[in-house]
A and B are shown apart, each in its own frame.
Chain A
Amino acid sequence: MKSELNEQALLQGLANNDTKAIETIYKQNYNMVQTFVLNNNGTYDEARDIFQEAMIALYEKAKSESFVLTCKINTYVYSVCRRLWLKRLQQLGKFSSSVESLEETVSVEEDIEIHRKRNAEYNIMERALGSMGEPCKSLLEGYYIKKMDMQALAKEFGYTNADNAKNQKYKCLMRLKKMFFAQYNIGE
């Protein structure tokens, strides 16, 4: 019972981007995943990429409202990594039918599908932001990503007052939204 509570607290920490929680989950699971990838045709770099992708999937799952984890964290992480790595092997044409399994696994197909969708959305936003010119890009990043307040932003960008910066920000935001939705609607 106690370990279940711990796991719940860890996931809560992960959702809040708490370094201590991330470190604990990382430490408890990384070596297992690395061993699996290395044993199955992969490199250290690939192991790191796969593991971090699974961590992102877990983070986004933990953040969502409908979140329930029905198994232990390590089973979940291992299952996601395994599935992602098999997919990657298939893409590379290196697929071997006898991929060994070190741990028990749970079905994560649905979660991976959700993750894939979120990946696509992330990429669309990244592209849309990337195609914005300056100072729009930095202004929007400052406000919406770094969560700086308008006063500080106005100062950093040299606007005479916060209202001017705010106006500029809204103009930029409209352009960004247009770009995002143009891609989003095709992409979906």
Chain B
Amino acid sequence: MEDILLLQAIERYLDGTMLPAERAYFEELRNNTHEIDQMVVEHSMFLHQMDSFSGRQTMQHSLQNVHAKLLSMGDINEGGEQTAKTKVVNIWNKYKRVATIAAAVGGGIALMISTLVAYFNPISPDVTRLGVQLKQTQNQVAALSNEIIKSKIPTKAPITGGGSSFLIDGKGYLITNAHVLDGATSATVYNEEGKEFSAIIAYKNDEKDLAILKIEDEDFQPIKNLPYSIRKTNADLGDEIYTIGFPNFPRTDVVYNVGYLSSVKGYNGDTLTCQIQMSANPGNSGGPVFNKKGEVIGVLSTKLSKADGVSFAIKSKNIYQLVEDFKKADTTSSNIKMLNTTTLNNDDRVSQVKKISNYVYMVKAYRK
């Protein structure tokens, strides 16, 4: 208790809120007592440390925001894909005023945007080859999604499987594995509170083993800004990673798990995936894999049947490819927007997970 009073006095002395008489008394005390003088110096140095800590944290936030802003304005760009998007944004900005005058032009712009996106983003010829490699992989690696015994599920429609998924756009677009949806025509998704939303299978690519679900439910509140971003480039060997998913399917308890990137290639040298050292369970399929900055670096998909703790994730850059393909196939989807910059960079793990887990959903797939 005495220590607290002393600390309180020192803090008031340092921030100048002491009354003149009190201050004079304290200064005399400080002059005569070596220990107190020492404490004042130490505390002043500590407060200075806290100040620079706080200043730097604010600065890091500002830098992230400025980066995102300049990126969206087209003042800086990060590669071909971004250029295309930025151009679209620029064109959009240019036409925005016109659009308000003549709503009819809107349709034309939508068409233009999708054409532009298609024009600026040719599919890499590598994609099919990688897909074939994945198929071979799948033969030898056990799929992580749940095979459900029908009788346990109290609905008329047969449940075909389940897994995890996560939002890539707050409007309700989710990413999961294609194999989670095998044999299904629709799905429902559950948030961590167990709240259920109906979703449609918007797009599926079996070769990439990725699928896009779209929540179509009146109860769903669109989210303005997701806290995490999807990484465009590969993660580094040894990077610490973690995942959030629903391995206890069909119970909706979110489970956190941690590991590291053990190989930048997947099973049998597959370049579409990477290998992670982390135990995974059925139900983790389709869940996001994060690095410590809070960027999605992959989608957890498979694990080695023979060895424990060896899992594979589909690299996050495939999500961008998938979304581009989806936009080509369905022009109404051209409004999907993924973030480049994570806002979780300065958060510790606990608050990162807290913020992320709202956007990770359990998937239950069924056949109508």
Interface residues of A in 154-188 (CB under 8 A from B): 166-167, 170-171, 173-174, 177, 180-181
B221 at the binding interface (Cβ < 8 Å): no
Residues of B contacting A: mostly: helix
Evaluate contact between B52 and A118: CB separation under 8 angstroms: yes
- Residues from chain A with a CB closer than 8 A to the CB of B43 are 177
Residues of A contacting B: mostly: helix
A35: min CB distance to chain B, Å: 11
Q: Bound complex: CA of A30 vs CA of B47, how far in Å?
A: 33
Evaluate contact between A45 and B75: CB separation under 8 angstroms: no
A67 at the binding interface (Cβ < 8 Å): no
B123 at the binding interface (Cβ < 8 Å): no
Residues A22 and B7 in contact in the complex (CB < 8 Å), given A45-B231, A118-B52, A122-B53: no
Interface residues of A in 38-59 (CB under 8 A from B): 43-45, 48, 52, 55-56, 59
A2 at the binding interface (Cβ < 8 Å): no
Evaluate contact between A125 and B53: CB separation under 8 angstroms: yes
Evaluate contact between B7 and A145: CB separation under 8 angstroms: no
B66 at the binding interface (Cβ < 8 Å): yes
Interface bits B216-254 vs A (CB < 8 Å: 1, else 0): 000000000000000111000000000000000000000
Tier of interface size on chain A: 35 or more
A85: min CB distance to chain B, Å: 15
Evaluate contact between B70 and A27: CB separation under 8 angstroms: yes
A63 at the binding interface (Cβ < 8 Å): yes
Q: A17-B62, A45-B232 are in contact. List 14 more A-B contacts (CB 8 A).
A: A17-B55, A19-B66, A22-B63, A34-B76, A43-B233, A52-B63, A56-B59, A59-B56, A118-B56, A126-B53, A147-B54, A170-B7, A173-B7, A177-B46
Q: Bound complex: CA of A171 vs CA of B55, how far in Å?
A: 24
The listed residue (B3, B62, B67, B78) touching A174 by CB distance below 8 A is B3
- Residues from chain A with a CB closer than 8 A to the CB of B58 are 17
- Residues from chain A with a CB closer than 8 A to the CB of B53 are 121-122, 125-126, 129, 145
Q: Bound complex: CA of A100 vs CA of B57, how far in Å?
A: 33
- Residues from chain A with a CB closer than 8 A to the CB of B79 are 44
Q: Bound complex: CA of A63 vs CA of B55, how far in Å?
A: 10
Q: Bound complex: CA of A55 vs CA of B46, how far in Å?
A: 24
B60 at the binding interface (Cβ < 8 Å): yes
Q: Bound complex: CA of A121 vs CA of B47, how far in Å?
A: 13
Evaluate contact between B70 and A23: CB separation under 8 angstroms: yes
Interface bits A3-47 vs B (CB < 8 Å: 1, else 0): 000000000000001010011001100110010000000011100
- Residues from chain B with a CB closer than 8 A to the CB of A27 are 70, 75-76
Q: Bound complex: CA of A17 vs CA of B65, how far in Å?
A: 12
A130 at the binding interface (Cβ < 8 Å): yes
Interface bits B33-50 vs A (CB < 8 Å: 1, else 0): 000000000110011011
Interface bits B1-14 vs A (CB < 8 Å: 1, else 0): 00110011000000
Interface residues of B in 318-341 (CB under 8 A from A): none
The listed residue (A17, A23, A43, A121) touching B49 by CB distance below 8 A is A121
Q: Bound complex: CA of A36 vs CA of B58, how far in Å?
A: 27
Evaluate contact between B232 and A44: CB separation under 8 angstroms: yes
Evaluate contact between B57 and A145: CB separation under 8 angstroms: yes
Q: Which residue of B lies closest to A16 (CB)?
A: B55
B135 at the binding interface (Cβ < 8 Å): no
A118: min CB distance to chain B, Å: 7
B367: min CB distance to chain A, Å: 41
